[in-house]
Amino acid sequence: MAQSIQQIKDLLQAASIDELPAFIQMYSTDERGGVRKLTETAAKRIEAHEREVKRTEQLKQYEKEYAAFTHICGIDEVGRGPLAGPVVAGAVILPKDCDILYINDSKQLSEKMREELYDIIMEKAVACSVGYATPERIDEINILQATYEAMREAIKSLCVQPDLLLNDAVTIPAVSIRQVPIIKGDAKSISIGAASIIAKVTRDRLMVEYDKVFPQYDFAGNKGYGSAAHIAALKKYGPTPIHRRSFIHNFV
């Protein structure tokens, strides 16, 4: 008895990328229109996968250029602009043969994809860490210096000492390790992109927890950034302990 189109569709949905060529071969002679569409879908998945593999290889250009270094560490931060919450820096050392796909500037990824990649990066990385600068520290020394401080903390917290840092745009003061600043590095280097994802997911999760403590401000939704609703709540209820006083003087 021939398989139904729904059964074949279920097989396609369960198939890994490596199983798709065999799927196409198996059903290529089936003349049913629905089955032909499924084999076309499988072919498109293969093409999309090949494009992503090519894109990811291009993301490794700096890692290949500096391949003589043993432990290349990507550095990035999130949270320089919000009115509330810390700035968080991520530091990630990926393996030389890293095969993780879909890494990109964290802002270009959906929340679901960031969460999935976070788990994969944490599992496959040689070393991962984060550093924080609190709102109080940001007010005390300014956001740029606080960002540098968070980055130094992230580097110091790594369980493996890097011998090269690939940074998103900046050169971090008071760091003896060789640094390579890369403009828009989170979209040009797989290591920096991974660091941006780790930092973004870490900070977003923290802001969700703060939302439970201060529900009026919708920190789970705005992540501390100055949305209209956040600013309205700030004017109505006043600042919380996690607001950056140096950022909110125009509103309260």
Question: What percent of the chain has pLDDT above 70?
Answer: 100
Task: Give the separation between CA 197 and CA 130, rounded to whole angstroms.
Answer: 11
Task: State residue 178's pLDDT score.
Answer: 98
In this structure, the strands spanning 179-182 and 164-168 are parallel
- Coil, strand, or helix at residue 180? strand
**pLDDT tens-digit profile of 11-65?**
999 999 999 999 999 999 999 999 999 999 999 999 999 999 999 999 999 999 9
On whether both 75 and 107 belong to a single domain, the answer is yes
On whether both 46 and 83 belong to a single domain, the answer is no
**pLDDT tens-digit profile of 104-148?**
989 899 999 999 999 999 999 999 999 999 999 999 999 999 999
How far apart, in Å, do the first and last CA atoms of the chain sit? 73
Please state the pTM of the whole predicted model.
0.91
Tell me which residue of 223, 186, 226, 190 sits closest to 206, measured CA to CA.
Answer: 223
On whether both 31 and 138 belong to a single domain, the answer is no
On whether both 30 and 136 belong to a single domain, the answer is no
* CA distance readout (Å), 174 to 74, 167, 181, 192: 17, 14, 15, 20
On whether both 23 and 34 belong to a single domain, the answer is yes
| φ/ψ of residue 84, rounded to 5 | -140, 155
On whether both 26 and 43 belong to a single domain, the answer is yes
Task: State residue 149's pLDDT score.
Answer: 98
How many domains is the chain partitioned into structurally? 2
Instruction: Tell me whether residue 243 is in a domain.
Output: no
pLDDT higher than threshold 90 for residue 1: no
- Give the range of the structural domain holding residue 22, as residue numbers without chain letter: 5-59
On whether both 53 and 98 belong to a single domain, the answer is no
Report, as an integer, the average pLDDT of 72-77: 98
On whether both 148 and 197 belong to a single domain, the answer is yes
The chain-wide mean pLDDT, for the chain, equals 96
Task: Give the separation between CA 95 and CA 100, rounded to whole angstroms.
Answer: 10
